[in-house]
Amino acid sequence: MNYISTRGAGLGERHTFSDILLGGLAKDGGLYLPAAYPRVSADELGRWRTLSYADLAFEVLSTFADDIPADELRSLTSKTYTAQVYSNVRDEEAATQITPLKTLGVENGAPLSLLELSNGPTLAFKDMAMQLLGNLFEYTLAKHGETLNILGATSGDTGSAAEYAMRGKAGVRVFMLSPHKKMSAFQTAQMFSLQDPNIFNLAVEGNFDNCQDIVKAVSNDHAFKAQHKIGTVNSINWARVVAQVVYYFKGYFAATKSNDERVSFTVPSGNFGNVCAGHIARMMGLPIEKLVVATNENDVLDEFFRTGIYRVRGASETYHTTSPSMDISKASNFERFVFDLLGRDPARVLQLFRDVEEKGGFDLAASGDFARVKEFGFVSGRSSHADRVDAIRDVFQRYDTMIDTHTADGLKVAREHLQPGVPMVVLETAQPIKFGETIREALLREPERPAAFVGLEKLPQRFDIVPADAGVVKAYIAERTS
């Protein structure tokens, strides 16, 4: 399979899956996509229905990563998607399913369920892709005799998912910046309790923006970046997106009895990585009725899908909410969908995303393209703090099920798009323990804590405090990588 950039540079060049695995943006600032999506035949779909998660992951990935020998890819997927790695289940019987489907009930004639994507080591859906990425990185680096130093900034979910994916992996080190004393006790303990010698937690004396600025400053020093083999694992990474395609298939099979049925998915969204994978599954031929994009108060995406206007937000318009992993000012994977929406016209994509940089957005309302959003199955909605508190309370009372704040945003919006007879699957993106404060507000009780996390906050912690100074961070990295 050949990969191309959404902005059209290097159209004549060939890029394999392995070529783009360790990188981020394409040279022209665009995002990589397959030159054409693989189509799944009815026969294949029939055969895939009964596969285990690991075997299904192999089937889906082998179409995108056809440059990795099949036996090697299979050993990577079977090592990644095990009941041991995804062991934080709430129902023991579901342990082997990796992403169990939890049925809630029937509302407005639509069977409503949650697809649990948060049973991995950090209790958030980012583990689904990041765990595979850890194994893919280790495999690829060993093959080429290379090493990689991952540098990132986190205020929570992404950093811990990256650390748990890369811990103990040969050839990889992680340098993760987080704002000192500004994460929750639970999130801090999750990251800082790791004792693996290849994981470095840097507690920066400053806020999350300071951390991000340091990462940018280091990445813009091209000589330093090359000398110290600095890389990232952010949400535009193609392998992360494609790993997420697998659970749309798995969720579809779990919610239906035959491949003649159609299913809708609701996706709590921020950077558009998760729902982009749903779009790709649909382009491959999975019978998806609707892809419902759910946002919180940071409603950049909801605004687009309602009006055709894409308007990125400044810092003063980016809100800190109680579903913080969706607090984004622009959606970094959105360009992938826009490329398909515009009939894969890289010149127009380039122009639109120049407008984003220069004018803060673009307006497709008047163009015929926006009308096509519906053909791609997309609809949207937004949720507020009061909505998510209501949803958490309602689902607990009605179905005896505790959901986290992001999943609550999804559930609230899903209910606005139910269709009689069409199963609605809401993606569960995190477990409630990660956002305990809102659970206590909604339910007046403590969130459920998986057994493996009892006493987490009391474990010894390993981290270094550094000033908000890119020079100091560079010296810290240089000392540990030469």
Q: Name the segment binding ligand PLP (CB under 6 A); options: 24-32, 195-203, 272-280, 390-398.
A: 272-280
Nearer to ligand PLP among residue 80 and residue 271 (C-beta): 271
Does 245 contact ligand PLP by CB under 6 A?
no
Does 53 contact ligand PLP by CB under 6 A?
no
Residue with tokens 């993106």: 429
Q: How far is the CB of 407 from ligand PLP (least distance, A)?
A: 8
The only residue of 81, 200, 272, 339 in contact with ligand PLP, by rule CB under 6 A: 272
Residue with tokens 């083999």: 229
Residues 6+ apart with CB under 8 A from 84: none
Nearer to ligand PLP among residue 56 and residue 129 (C-beta): 129
CA distances from 424 to 108, 153, 394 (A): 11, 35, 17
- From the list 10, 90, 95, 14, the residue with the least C-alpha distance to 52 is 95
Beta-bridge partner residues of 177 = 153, 202
Nearer to ligand PLP among residue 55 and residue 303 (C-beta): 303
Does 56 contact ligand PLP by CB under 6 A?
no
73 contacts 58 by C-beta, under 8 angstroms: yes
CA dist 199 and 420 (Å) reads 49
Does 269 contact ligand PLP by CB under 6 A?
yes
88 contacts 100 by C-beta, under 8 angstroms: no
Q: How far is CA 249 from the centre of its chain?
A: 16
Nearer to ligand PLP among residue 66 and residue 303 (C-beta): 303
Does 126 contact ligand PLP by CB under 6 A?
yes
Active site annotation includes 126: yes
Q: How far is the CB of 443 from ligand PLP (least distance, A)?
A: 19
CA dist 326 and 223 (Å) reads 34
70 contacts 40 by C-beta, under 8 angstroms: no
Beta-bridge partner residues of 427 = 115
**Terminus-to-terminus CA distance in the chain, angstroms?**
36
Residues 6+ apart with CB under 8 A from 469: 214
The only residue of 274, 295, 322, 431 in contact with ligand PLP, by rule CB under 6 A: 274
Does 138 contact ligand PLP by CB under 6 A?
no
Within 325-364, the residues that bind ligand PLP by CB under 6 A are 325-326
Question: Which position among 27, 79, 102, 126 bears the catalytic label?
Answer: 126
Nearer to ligand PLP among residue 8 and residue 273 (C-beta): 273
Q: Name the segment binding ligand PLP (CB under 6 A); options: 262-270, 338-346, 379-387, 393-401.
A: 262-270
Nearer to ligand PLP among residue 326 and residue 364 (C-beta): 326
Does 271 contact ligand PLP by CB under 6 A?
yes
Asked whether the CA dihedral 293, 298, 124, 149 is positive or negative, the reply is positive
CA distances from 332 to 59, 258, 425 (A): 27, 35, 24
Amino acid at 8: G
Does 157 contact ligand PLP by CB under 6 A?
yes
CA dist 2 and 64 (Å) reads 9
- From the list 438, 400, 414, 439, the residue with the least C-alpha distance to 91 is 400
Q: How far is the CB of 428 from ligand PLP (least distance, A)?
A: 9
CA dist 236 and 468 (Å) reads 26
CA dist 380 and 392 (Å) reads 20
The only residue of 429, 438, 463, 477 in contact with ligand PLP, by rule CB under 6 A: 429
Q: How far is the CB of 132 from ligand PLP (least distance, A)?
A: 15
Q: How far is the CB of 325 from ligand PLP (least distance, A)?
A: 3
Q: Name the segment binding ligand PLP (CB under 6 A); options: 8-16, 267-275, 413-421, 470-478.
A: 267-275
The only residue of 235, 380, 383, 438 in contact with ligand PLP, by rule CB under 6 A: 235
Q: Name the segment binding ligand PLP (CB under 6 A); options: 40-48, 174-182, 265-273, 374-382.
A: 265-273
Q: How many residues does the chain have?
A: 482
The only residue of 111, 273, 278, 447 in contact with ligand PLP, by rule CB under 6 A: 273
Nearer to ligand PLP among residue 124 and residue 364 (C-beta): 124
Q: How far is the CB of 94 from ligand PLP (least distance, A)?
A: 19
Annotate 103-122 with DSSP letters as a single string.
Answer: EEEEETTEEEEEEE---STT
Does 232 contact ligand PLP by CB under 6 A?
no
Does 131 contact ligand PLP by CB under 6 A?
no
Nearer to ligand PLP among residue 74 and residue 406 (C-beta): 406
Q: Residues 274, 333, 172, CA angle at the centre, nearest 5°?
A: 80
The only residue of 4, 33, 124, 203 in contact with ligand PLP, by rule CB under 6 A: 124
Nearer to ligand PLP among residue 9 and residue 85 (C-beta): 85
Residues 6+ apart with CB under 8 A from 366: 308
- By CB under 6 A, name the binding residues for ligand PLP: 124, 126, 157, 235, 268-274, 325-326, 406, 429-430
Residues involved in catalysis: 126
